[in-house]
Amino acid sequence: MPQRAPEVSRELFGRLGDTDVHRYVLAWPGGLTVRVLDYGGVVQSLEAPDRRGERANVVLGFRTLDDYAANSEPGASRAFFGAAVGRYANRIAHGTFTLDGVVHRLPVNDHGHTLHGGPAGFDTKVWAATEVEDADSVGVRLDLVSPEADQGFPATVAAEVTYRLDRLNRLTITYRATADAPTVLNLTNHTYWNLAGEGSGDVHGQSLRLNASRFCAVDETLIPDGDPVPVEGTPFDFRTATPIGARVDGADPQLRAGHGYDHNWVLDRTGGSAPSPAAQAHDPVSGRRLTMWTTEPGLQFYSGNHLSSDLIGTSGRPYHRRAGFALEAQHFPNSPNRPDFPSTVLRPGQVYHQETVFQLSAEAGEPA
């Protein structure tokens, strides 16, 4: 029989008011299948084979559009499952920053700070979608125009996020944006991973390696406090592969502040404009391995500390604490208020660009 060709297809996922929301299925025969929503730029599911060739969804998500919309409502315990996050990923202290002498005030939604762009950030928007295919990949490009004063941010921003799947089992996420006036911008993807399979339990036994020798220590509300500090001699040293659960509930004050890991690591970049190695995660039972590269200077590792059983996943099973972990490539938290951090300022005539690559593989042999 002839081998199936890679493809991208579209299906109706639901309606948000008068707007149709679609799901785009990116499929590579024998490889990955990725489902992306034009609501929030969400990666809803990603199916990957294990060491025996058995496939499972390895990212967390909801079954219905109503579930996503309800999780975005005021007062909900926001999970940001799989979402394209903006205008500003992570936190801006007290919802305030000054740019070119002008003070900008944003709505706050996390302990008095602005988190992930505010209560109605990019994760709550319906993006315009275009299917893309070429000889080497299939994908979908999402476009969004964020008007001036959206969530209090200055300038009109035209943002573009493209998801591409290729024959090497790589999901490449490319970001591009421009602004008509000075602003700040920090985009990321907020996928939660569980390499044993979505809804299978906690990720404590899965190992993680981070290409970072420093991290940003934080105050009790998770705002960076002081200069980045060395990971050596701390529970934040993931320079060699370490089970996520090995130290996550220790007595270290930084772990207490985050109720586990919820910190920005300063990546040891290899130089140049191409994506550099950032992280690698591994599940010893399934043999699945996740390898990550990015052009960004920072990586927020979140160990799913606040996930709870009221979140029901795509499988119909509840998500308990630490049911998944997030690896968010981005600039540093609160950079608009920290001139010593890499700048997140975007000015007219400049083009924001970021590329992050996730590759799934599976080792042969019996489980460890």
Catalytic residue ranges? 190, 328
Q: Identify any residues that bridge with 353 across adjacent strands, giving them in sequence order.
A: 176
* CA–CA gap between residue 133 and residue 283 (Å, rounded): 32
- Whether residue 104 contacts residue 154, with contact meaning beta carbons closer than 8 Å, is answered with yes
On the 0-12 / 13-18 / 19+ scale of CB atoms within 10 A, 26 is: buried
Structure tokens at 233: 């001699």
Report the Cα 329 to chain-centroid distance in Å: 7
CA-CA distance, 314 to 325, in Å (whole number)? Answer: 16
Any bridge partners for residue 190, and if so which?
none
Contact at 8 Å (CB) between 6 and 25? no
